[in-house]
Amino acid sequence: MTGTEVRQSFLDFFATRGHLIVPSDRIVPASDPSLMFTNAGMVPFKNVFLGTEDPRAPRVADSQKCLRISGKHNDLDDVGRDVYHQTFFEMLGNWSFGDYYKTEAIEWAWELLTDVWGLPKDKLYATVFETDDEAAALWPKITDIDPAHVLRCGAKDNFWEMGETGPCGPCSEVHFDRGPEACDLPPGHECGVNSECARYMEIWNLVFIQNDRQADGSLGDLPARHVDTGMGLERVVSILQGGNGNYDSDLLRGLIGVAEEMSGRPYLGAYGVEDVAFRVIADHARAVAVMIGDGILPSNEGRGYVLRRLLRRAARQAHVLGIEGAFLGRVTDQAVEVLGSAYPELIEHRARIGQTVASEEERFGETLDKGLGLLTDERRKMKSRGEDRLSGEVAFRLYDTYGFPFDLTEDILRGEGLSVDREGFDQSMDAQRARGREGARFSTATGGGFGDEKSAFVGYDQEAAESNILALAFDGAPMERAEVGATVEIVAAETPFYGESGGQAGDGGFIELADGGLVEVQDTLKPRQDLIVHRGKVLRGSVTPNAAATFRVDHERREATRLNHSATHILHAALREFLGEEVHQAGSLVTAERLRFDFTYGSRVDTEKLVAIEDWVNARIRENVPVSATEMAFDDALAAGALAFFGDKYGDQVRVLQMGDFSVELCGGTHVSRTGDIGLFKIGAESAVGAGVRRIEAATGSVALAQVRAREEEIRGLSSLLKTDERELAPRIEKLLAQQKELERKIESTEAKLASGASRDLMEGVQEIAGIRVLVQRVDGGAKVLRGLADQLRDKLGSGVVVLGGVDGAKVVLLAAVTADLTEKIQAGQIIREIAPIVGGGGGGRPDFAQAGGKDPAKLDAALARVHEFLAE
């Protein structure tokens, strides 16, 4: 199974057991301000466990994006040094909010692991909290686990707590025995569950949440008992795929492959500096992609600083591998490719991810070599003086002048057994901050360069307003002046510009200064509820704080965005009308060019329903009913029937948008005054974005009309190309496809005959390795042809191993066949897993037969050569 298939099978398993499948929350916790990042699957549900928020359903399952890089849960220093630790990972989880408890949690965990995924029962162990007699009795009672494999352990391993305070309770962990060969400690070590070696791997934690840890350390009872389970996807996939660690799974191996290609060096899965570098790059690329996809941008503080640290650590590891110039963009793009089907926001923000990474690489690349040169000089001086600790002053100079985060300097030196004076570094940092406070107009530590400045939105009824500029900043640092050509972020006391929020893109336009200066606003952001930031470029003059200006919104961009936003509300009403009241919004994107609407629904929306939905929306548009917005108390809005969305956070006062008698929703965006203003609504696509979540993409107004006309032009072009009338286009294409299929069948038959005739010649290549007859040959052709040939050659061998590789178009095909008498000693799947990564692929199969695909034909010969080495080991 691929990682994607494992994730989906987990969600499908719990969906059939009454669980609502919910999309992942953002990596930035919306419900817990005490956390910098979502570090566990339960974070989005913490308020439910505390009894301060109602659950959407009593049973929920999900795959949650998690990042462990700050606070108590910080795996950054361990990443790369072994084959398991990661900063970013996916946490599969099923949840019971006051519904089922230990019996079902244990029974279903065992069923999924053994019956669905087929893990050997004799390799599974279950640990329980030392005083949890109930769980200890349930395991052997309701499953067929070996009773000797149920172990009692102390609070360190089997009492789960998210932090210093909050929900907690006893847990039961499932461990997998990877065999004595997996032990990574010196001889003489005694392997065991919860020991320090890698033999017994924890794969699933079933937490029975019943307590609330208070600030004084005491335990209180939660209002209801809950189940919180967590399983690291990468870890279980590595076990199911038979790899030696998480980085061998297809979730990470492809990223390493990109770095291999760019460096020209192989990843061996060992513990040398180059293999560590490969793992760091793969891990950090995923974390970087997810962070930027969720709206985090590099800066010198907070989450943005963590992102910058990851980017620069990865850049330094590229230096270790001899990669020159920009490289991380390609690795992060591969991460988007792998994760995008589960987390569609990555696909949505793919361009932003690439641009941000490229910009950071360019900035750091200019100083990396100089900084490393300074560090090398300092290391030489330290050794000549017999010192093993770099001064804090030098570490701060590396940070301040060359952009080296402290932990990057620490990481470089650690590899040589050296350390850094952290106290001296902090003292230098404090001194600089003190100097900055003396001359700065405000502190940058409280909000990306804007301190506690506030701005008011006045753009619901106007597209231009006069106001004073309160502050300027760029990249998290305050500015006193921005000259022509500079990129700048501007905050004003009042603005008609809408800041990106609620799925609606920010406005564009111009800021016209009273002295003749001009700034083009390219985007408008809303980092806080009371702060609107205009990001743009100075086209004329200069900009300073306190300057008077006219803020003028781009009317056409605003108008097109309004059409699309109002259309999403009508679309939402249509979906509930045709698909059922249980349909709810699961996300949206509204720009001037298009709208995208994600909604909860368990299956594909067929064409007939899509047409009906589109017709219903257009009918509401033609009715030209008024659209009104009213401010009211949140509770009053709900009482009036307004729709609110799971996971969104609302204040005491909310804005309620109503369209006729068919749509009432909470919304702070900009909208049309009557539905007729939308003009036309046209659905472009319907697709799946995750388990239980579908997506509709559409356009409105002149954009929709242009799309209709473009489609008509395409049809006319195809008709001309195929020399047929438009009405006969479909039958003509069907005839051509039938002809193509018949030609492909004839080609395949001819190839099979040629291959069969060549089998006698191929047999001359048989070699004997370790007493086994082995035939390894290159035969170009499709998978079906090679499968038939492999069967013939295996039969002719009688006893032995056949490995064939070929190129079919731009793809590589690999097959391994092993005779039945040898499968206990050699398995075809082992051979394929060994050689497929060389050609940038993966695959698997039965012990007697396995195959894989690949995308790097140039390395096919190297992959086939590896077979002889592997079998000889």
pLDDT tens per residue, range 761-781: 688 788 989 889 999 998 887
Give the three-class secondary structure for 165.
coil
596 confidence band (pLDDT: 50, 70, 90): very high
Report long-range pairs for 580-585 (Cβ below 8 Å, ≥24 apart). 584/643, 584/645, 584/646, 585/643, 585/645
- In the prediction, which pLDDT does 273 show? 85
Q: What CATH code would you report for 565-711?
A: 3.30.980.10
Q: Which amino acid is at 52?
A: T
Rounded mean pLDDT, 539-548: 93
Tens digit of pLDDT for each residue in 720-750?
A: 888 888 888 888 888 888 888 888 777 666 6
- In the prediction, which pLDDT does 656 show? 94
- In the prediction, which pLDDT does 36 show? 85
Domain-wise residue ranges, the chain? 3-184+191-244, 253-439, 445-553, 565-711, 763-872
First to last CA, the chain: 27
- In the prediction, which pLDDT does 146 show? 96
Q: What is the C-alpha to C-alpha distance for residues 181 and 68, in angstroms, rounded to an integer?
A: 29
- In the prediction, which pLDDT does 690 show? 61
The residue that leads in pLDDT, 65 or 382, is 65
Tens digit of pLDDT for each residue in 371-380?
A: 777 888 888 8
Which residue, 591, 599, 550, is CA-closest to 574?
A: 599
Q: What is the C-alpha to C-alpha distance for residues 386 and 363, in angstroms, rounded to an integer?
A: 35
Rounded mean pLDDT, 647-672: 84
Which residue, 529, 574, 534, is CA-closest to 552?
A: 534
- In the prediction, which pLDDT does 442 show? 32
The residue that leads in pLDDT, 358 or 100, is 100
CATH 3.30.930.10 fits 3-184+191-244, yes or no: yes
- In the prediction, which pLDDT does 440 show? 34
334 confidence band (pLDDT: 50, 70, 90): very high
pTM higher than 0.75: no
Please provide residue 772's backbone torsions phi and psi, each rounded to the nearest 5 degrees: -120, 135
Highest mean pLDDT among 126-140, 310-324, 740-754, 822-836: 126-140
Rounded mean pLDDT, 240-251: 92
Tens digit of pLDDT for each residue in 440-466?
A: 333 322 335 677 788 999 999 999 999
**Ranges 83-92, 374-383, 664-673: which has the least confidence:** 374-383
- In the prediction, which pLDDT does 648 show? 54
438 confidence band (pLDDT: 50, 70, 90): very low
**Ranges 99-113, 202-216, 666-680, 745-759: which has the least confidence:** 745-759
Q: Is the pLDDT of residue 651 over 90?
A: no
Listed in order, strand segments (DSSP E) in 162-216 are: 166-177, 200-213
Q: Which residues pair with 845 in a beta bridge?
A: 850
504 confidence band (pLDDT: 50, 70, 90): very high
Q: Is the pLDDT of residue 529 over 50?
A: yes
Rounded mean pLDDT, 186-211: 89
Tens digit of pLDDT for each residue in 846-867?
A: 888 988 888 889 999 999 999 9
Tens digit of pLDDT for each residue in 624-642?
A: 999 999 998 887 887 778 8
| DSSP count for the chain of H helices, then E strands | 23, 35
- In the prediction, which pLDDT does 837 show? 87
Q: Is the pLDDT of residue 343 over 70?
A: yes
Q: Is the pLDDT of residue 595 over 90?
A: yes
Name the residue with tokens 């509770």.
Answer: 635
Which residue, 369, 345, 350, is CA-closest to 294?
A: 345
| CB 217, CB 93: distance < 8 Å | no
Average predicted confidence (pLDDT) for the chain? 87
- DSSP string for residues in 315-339: HHHHHHTT--S--HHHHHHHHHHHH
3-state DSSP of 18-38: CCEECCCCCCCCCCCCCCCCC
- In the prediction, which pLDDT does 787 show? 84
Tokens of 434: 């003190």
CATH architecture of residue range(s) 763-872:
Roll (3.10)
CB atoms within 10 A of CB 661: 7
685 confidence band (pLDDT: 50, 70, 90): very high
- In the prediction, which pLDDT does 695 show? 93
Q: Is the pLDDT of residue 316 over 60?
A: yes
Tens digit of pLDDT for each residue in 19-63?
A: 999 999 988 887 665 678 888 888 888 778 767 778 889 999 999
Tens digit of pLDDT for each residue in 109-135?
A: 999 999 999 999 999 999 999 999 999
Name the residue with tokens 């259309």.
Answer: 567
Q: Is the pLDDT of residue 436 over 50?
A: no
- Fold type of domain 445-553: Elongation Factor Tu (Ef-tu); domain 3 (2.40.30)
Highest mean pLDDT among 402-411, 478-487, 720-729, 739-748: 478-487
Which residue, 20, 238, 14, is CA-closest to 116?
A: 14
